[in-house]
Amino acid sequence: MEKIKTANFTAKDEFNATSATPIKAVKNSVIRVTDIMIKDKLPDENGKVETVGFLKAEDGTIYATISVTVIEQMLSLPELLRDGALDILVVPKTASGGREYFVLELQ
């Protein structure tokens, strides 16, 4: 996937994204999101490439996710963020097999 990011997701933010907080740390919480980035990680030792989404909060904290569901939702955020920060609720869901996953909900 080609890197997608909003204009104010800076080079410093991208550097700091390597040690981002996992999105599960803020489940059931609202994040005031100002910027996002979606990019592929470098291939692992098996050659697998993983896409990662990053949400930058108003306080500068960067949250990371590899959730395909959340990354798909994030694809529409650059357009929405043109009008300013968004309050986004991180909602946990349970798959039929019992696995927890997350979705984003605009507030």
Q: What's the pTM value of the predicted model, to 2 decimals?
A: 0.90
Q: What is the mean pLDDT of the chain?
A: 93
**Which pLDDT band, with edges at 50, 70 and 90, does 23 fall under?**
very high
Is the pLDDT reported for residue 21 higher than 80?
yes
User: Domains of the chain: which residue ranges?
Assistant: 4-106
What per-residue confidence (pLDDT) applies to 48? Answer: 87
For the chain, strand residue ranges (E) read 4-5, 21-22, 30-40, 51-57, 62-65, 86-94, 100-106
What per-residue confidence (pLDDT) applies to 2? Answer: 84
Q: What is the mean pLDDT of residues 57-70?
A: 95
Is the pLDDT reported for residue 1 higher than 80?
no
Is the pLDDT reported for residue 93 higher than 80?
yes
Q: How far apart are CA 35 and CA 77, in angstroms?
A: 8
Q: What is the mean pLDDT of residues 26-32?
A: 96
What per-residue confidence (pLDDT) applies to 16? Answer: 94
- HSE of 23, CA atoms in CB hemisphere, 13 A: 28
